[in-house]
């Protein structure tokens, strides 16, 4: 069955349908990862977005449910050059077409994803419609589409407790749309983890007497979360060690009075280079974000950039002066992706030890 992608600038790509049979409007973004497509599809940071895979063949090792990073199917659509109908992997429990059908995610294949990626790189992220009939797309409504209410849609609705076998610390993890590997990285280091909804008041969190507070990744415009930012301001004054990742990093910056901006096409993939500002060392990181903290808005008496993106110089981390607070834009838990930055979890446990 023919299916089309119509971009808000009028460009039309004809391909073939797979996955769920439905039409959607979404923000079209690309990711450069060669593997970890299931982890990508289950990453809540993709809420409201149509994911374009730049790697041309997707699905060759099948679907393994235990590799999922959440139990949510939040991606609006999935766009690939080619999908593998006969995967080969001893762990595989199915193929990607059946997975997308079950998840309710429409797929589009057989288009020139390289040409599509070049348009997004040159023109910036734009909205797109997946449709059977391009002539019926309401272009005005397409251009007006915005991703809103993303954190509330992706955050847990109840408190969930994960007990560490050899508990050394107790960490409250604020869920803004978290990837499961964040909790696994903490449990691995002897941290019992209490996952709480994004809008949990600071007083309620502090009443749990945590040794540390973790702020997860998540989707959407960080500046939209005004009430959450106000609660984070209170948490920053508590003296409890805090570690923020991705959206958590951005929200911490906003809580300190800094600014964020939307990037032209964002950073998504498992091969993004970041540089330690102090040492000059470059690390390869996994990333998935469309917004960044504005370096020029960071007040030097409060904080300073700790990492920057090698490709475009945008902020990738902040060191807060005199505070037990650590935050980075990339994903040190990286699943799938490079393990270069896992040591940041050890730095966080060092804060909790008072080191």
User: What 3 state SS string does 77-138 have?
Assistant: EEECCEECCCCCCCCCCCCHHHHHHHHCCEEEECCCHHHHHHHHHHHCCEEEEEECCHHHCC
Q: Which two tokens stand for residue 190?
A: 């002897």
Task: Tell whether omega for the bond before 226 is within 30 degrees of 0, i.e. cis.
Answer: no
DSSP state of 297: G
- Known catalytic residues? 246, 331, 333
Residue 219: name the closest of 68, 119, 70, 9 by CA.
70
Let me know the angle formed at the C-alpha of 47 by 46 and 52, rounded to the nearest 5 degrees: 40
What is the rounded CA–CA span in Å between residue 236 and residue 126?
35
Q: How far is CA 191 from each of CA 176, 210, 325, rounded to the nearest angstrom? A: 19, 10, 17
- Which strand (E) or helix (H) includes residue 26? strand 24-31
First CA to last CA across the chain, in angstroms? 60
Q: Give the chain's count of helices (H) and strands (E).
A: 10, 19
């Amino acid at each position: 069955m023919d299916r089309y992608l119509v971009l808000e600038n009028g460009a039309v790509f004809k391909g073939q349908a797979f996955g769920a049979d439905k039409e959607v409007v979404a923000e079209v973004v690309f990711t450069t990862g060669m593997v970890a497509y299931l982890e990508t599809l289950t990453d809540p940071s993709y809420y409201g977005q149509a994911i374009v895979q730049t790697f041309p063949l997707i699905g060759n090792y099948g679907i393994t449910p235990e590799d999922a990073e959440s139990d949510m199917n939040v991606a609006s659509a999935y766009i690939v050059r080619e999908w593998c109908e006969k995967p080969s992997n001893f762990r595989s429990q199915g193929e990607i077409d059946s997975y997308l059908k079950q998840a309710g995610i429409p797929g589009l294949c057989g288009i020139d994803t390289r040409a599509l990626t070049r348009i997004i790189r040159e023109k910036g992220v734009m909205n797109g419609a997946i449709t059977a009939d391009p002539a019926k797309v309401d272009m005005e409504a397409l251009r007006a589409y915005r991703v809103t209410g993303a954190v509330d849609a992706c955050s847990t609705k109840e408190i969930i407790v994960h007990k560490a076998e050899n508990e050394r610390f107790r960490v409250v993890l604020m869920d803004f749309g978290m990837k499961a590997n964040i909790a696994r990285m903490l449990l691995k280091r002897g941290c019992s983890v209490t996952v709480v909804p994004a809008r949990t008041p600071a007083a309620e969190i502090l009443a749990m007497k945590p040794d540390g507070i973790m702020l997860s990744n998540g989707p959407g415009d960080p500046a939209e979360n005004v009430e959450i930012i106000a609660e984070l301001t209170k948490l920053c004054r508590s003296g409890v060690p805090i570690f923020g990742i991705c959206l958590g990093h951005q929200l911490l910056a906003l809580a300190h009075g800094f600014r964020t901006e939307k990037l032209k096409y964002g950073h998504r993939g498992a091969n993004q280079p970041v540089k330690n500002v102090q040492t000059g060392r470059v690390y390869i990181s996994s990333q998935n974000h469309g917004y960044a903290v504005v370096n020029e808005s960071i007040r030097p008496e409060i904080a300073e950039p700790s990492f920057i993106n090698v490709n475009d110089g945008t902020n990738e981390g902040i060191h807060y002066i005199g505070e037990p607070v650590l935050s980075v834009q990339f994903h040190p838990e990286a699943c799938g992706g490079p393990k270069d930055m896992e040591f940041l979890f050890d730095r966080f446990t060092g804060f909790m030890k008072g080191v």
